[in-house]
């Protein structure tokens, strides 16, 4: 009976009720959307590098090593000698190892020297491999593969020339040894998109005529002569390692950290990523707080709507009382109306969320490399919906208590 009365009352005020439900739906969709983006961003962040058991570099901090080796942020405190790299690579518990050499740049994008093994073993987003959208991976000494962001920002195409600058934010360029764009990598949503990838030998080649950070005076060495040289690197910046068995990971990490020839550091990428997320993850708390305030604002708006309707419904309430309805029935009626509006708004917000996800998923993946999974509602999402419904009931108690206290005489009185 009371449910029929509540539904009939809501239908009688259809426009006002619809606006209130829409406000709740949009706020719920925003809150759940921020939660989806937060979890998607965290998963994408954690999946920046996968399948790599250890990252090795000069001894510093785990976050610093992760930042410059994976995210191309900052610089290494020191290099790893080639002899130490070969010594580690020769260990029986090492399945594969990929050297990385950093230090140069191209128009604010990092240049990374590595081997073809990088394209074979670097994985992201739970095991996805790097793919080439155009051209091929570097094959010649002066070939370069560029990330999707590099190609899009600089409008590069296959066979375009690239001049590498010495160091970062440097005006000194290796103009005598230009590279050729041999391949453009597909969008990954990782720092690879903002990287120019060349061979380790190429890094050595462009520094043949350099010493102490400056170019030697005199004529540059001809390219033909450079190609004939032994371009084995003397040092690298870091290395990615895959072990034969996960059980050997910690033993290998300890052996590298205690390496007697030079101070080295081996880190677990997953642990370092969690540590880094703990530093930058405060933004997700701020986003959730803002979204929660939006939901609270919508519920307060619903309370204001109920309050404003009380003056119009004073006679309705009085008629209910004159027909024998107890004050508690009036209170229950208003609370039930609020719960119905909150429930419909919450469910509509959930529907809007999944409609938005279906539209935004391919766009976010292609533009930002952010994967937003479309999955069944989680327990946390259902908890949010239930919380919104009960919060709607709570905020409706204030106007409901006022209606509870209205008397029949007050309701029947005509105001002039």
**Reported confidence tier of residue 153, pLDDT bands at 50, 70, 90:** very high
pLDDT confidence of residue 204: 92
pLDDT surpassing 70 at residue 182: yes
pLDDT confidence of residue 37: 81
Beta bridge partners of 113: 101, 198
Phi-psi region of 74 (alpha: psi -120 to 50; beta: other; left: phi over 0): left
CB 391 within 8 A of CB 342: yes
pLDDT surpassing 50 at residue 409: no
pLDDT surpassing 60 at residue 411: no
pLDDT confidence of residue 4: 78
Q: What span, in angstroms and rounded, lies between the C-alpha atoms of 99 and 238? A: 6
Min mean pLDDT across 2-6, 81-85, 154-158, 164-168 is at 2-6
**Reported confidence tier of residue 150, pLDDT bands at 50, 70, 90:** very high
340-358 pLDDT, tens per residue? 988 999 999 999 999 998 8
* 287 compared with 100, residue with greater pLDDT: 100
User: In 3D, which of 376, 288, 385 has the Cα closest to residue 41?
Assistant: 288
Min mean pLDDT across 5-9, 177-181, 275-279, 389-393 is at 5-9
According to DSSP, the β-strands at 179-185 and 143-146 are parallel
Within 10 Å of residue 379's Cβ, how many Cβ atoms? 7
Which residues are CB-neighbours of 214 under 8 A, at least 6 positions away? none
CB 372 within 8 A of CB 44: no
Instruction: Average the pLDDT over 237-252 and give the result.
Output: 94
* 286 compared with 150, residue with greater pLDDT: 150
Mean pLDDT of the chain: 85
**Reported confidence tier of residue 196, pLDDT bands at 50, 70, 90:** very high
**Reported confidence tier of residue 35, pLDDT bands at 50, 70, 90:** confident
According to DSSP, the β-strands at 109-114 and 195-199 are parallel
C-alpha to C-alpha distances, 385 to 11, 33, 34, 345, nearest whole angstrom: 23, 13, 15, 9
pLDDT surpassing 90 at residue 223: no
Instruction: Average the pLDDT over 371-399 and give the result.
Output: 84
CB 330 within 8 A of CB 404: yes
At residue 415's C-alpha, the angle toward residues 414 and 416, to 5°, is 120
pLDDT surpassing 80 at residue 319: no
For residue 376, which phi and psi values (nearest 5 degrees)?
-60, 150
pLDDT confidence of residue 408: 46
**Token pair for residue 207?**
């520094």
* 221 compared with 156, residue with greater pLDDT: 156
pLDDT surpassing 80 at residue 406: no
pLDDT confidence of residue 321: 65
pLDDT surpassing 90 at residue 58: yes
Instruction: Average the pLDDT over 285-306 and give the result.
Output: 79
Query: Percentage of the chain surpassing pLDDT 70?
Result: 88
Instruction: Average the pLDDT over 300-323 and give the result.
Output: 70
pLDDT confidence of residue 101: 95
Instruction: Average the pLDDT over 31-52 and give the result.
Output: 82
* 414 compared with 296, residue with greater pLDDT: 296
**Token pair for residue 296?**
């609270």
Beta bridge partners of 96: 242
3-state SS, the chain, equals CHHHHHHHHHHHCHHHHHHHHHHHHHHHHHHHHHHHHHHHHHHHHHCCCECCCEEEEECCCHHHHHHHHCCCCCCCCCCEEHHHHHHHHCCCCEEEEEEEEEEEEECCEEEEEECCHHHHHCEECCCEECCEEEECCCCCCCEEEECHHHHHHHCCCCCCEECCECCCCCCCECCCCCEEEEEEECCCCCHHHHEEEEEHHHHHHCCCCEECCEECCCCCCCHHHHHCCCCCCCEECEEEEEECCHHHHHHHHHHHHCCCCCCEEEECHHHHHHHHHHHHCHHHHHHHHHHHHHHHHHHHHHHHHHHHHHHHCHHHHHHHHHCCCCHHHHHHHHHHHHHHHHHHHHHHHHHHHHHHHHHHHHHHHHHHCCCCCCCCCCHHHHHHHHHHHHHHHHHCHHHHHHHHCCCHHHHHCCCC
pLDDT surpassing 50 at residue 407: no
* 253 compared with 49, residue with greater pLDDT: 253
pLDDT confidence of residue 132: 94
**Reported confidence tier of residue 318, pLDDT bands at 50, 70, 90:** low
């Amino acid at each position: 009976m009371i449910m029929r009365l509540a539904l009939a009352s809501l239908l009688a005020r259809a426009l006002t009720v619809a606006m209130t439900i829409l406000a709740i739906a949009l706020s719920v969709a925003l809150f759940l959307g921020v939660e989806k983006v937060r979890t998607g961003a965290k998963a994408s962040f954690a999946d920046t590098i996968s399948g790599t058991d250890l990252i090795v570099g000069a001894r510093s901090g785990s976050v610093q090593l992760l930042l410059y080796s994976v995210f191309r942020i900052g610089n290494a405190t020191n290099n790893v000698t080639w002899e130490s790299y070969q010594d580690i690579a020769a260990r029986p518990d090492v399945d594969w190892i990929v050297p990385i050499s950093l230090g140069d740049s191209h128009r604010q994008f990092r240049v990374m020297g590595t081997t073809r093994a990088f394209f074979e073993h670097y994985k992201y987003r739970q095991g996805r491999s790097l793919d080439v959208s155009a051209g091929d991976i570097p094959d010649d000494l002066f070939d370069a593969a560029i990330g999707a962001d590099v190609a899009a920002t600089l409008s590069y195409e296959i066979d375009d020339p690239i001049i590498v600058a010495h160091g970062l934010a440097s005006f000194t360029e290796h103009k005598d040894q230009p590279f050729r764009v041999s391949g453009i990598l597909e969008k990954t949503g990782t720092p690879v998109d903002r990287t120019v990838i060349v061979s380790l030998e190429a890094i050595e080649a462009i520094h043949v005529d350099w010493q102490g950070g400056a170019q030697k005076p005199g004529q540059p060495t001809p390219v033909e002569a450079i190609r004939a040289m032994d371009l084995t690197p003397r040092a690298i910046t870091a290395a990615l390692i895959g072990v034969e068995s996960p059980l050997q990971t910690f033993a290998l990490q300890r052996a590298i950290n205690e390496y007697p020839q030079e101070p080295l550091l081996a880190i677990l990428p997953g642990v370092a990523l969690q540590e880094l997320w703990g530093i930058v993850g405060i933004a997700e708390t701020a986003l959730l707080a803002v979204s929660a305030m939006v939901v609270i604002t919508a519920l307060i708006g619903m309370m204001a709507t109920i309050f404003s309707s009380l003056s119009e419904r004073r006679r309705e309430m009085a008629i209910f009382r004159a027909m024998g309805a107890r004050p508690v029935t009036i209170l229950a009626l208003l609370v039930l109306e609020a719960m119905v509006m909150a429930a419909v708004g919450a469910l509509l917000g959930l529907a809007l969320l999944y409609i938005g996800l279906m539209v935004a998923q391919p766009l976010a993946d292609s533009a930002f490399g952010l994967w937003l999974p479309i999955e069944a509602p989680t327990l946390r999402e259902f908890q949010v919906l239930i919380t919104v419904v009960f919060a709607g009931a709570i905020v409706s108690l204030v106007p409901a208590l006022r209606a509870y206290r209205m008397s029949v005489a007050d309701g029947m009185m005509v105001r002039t």
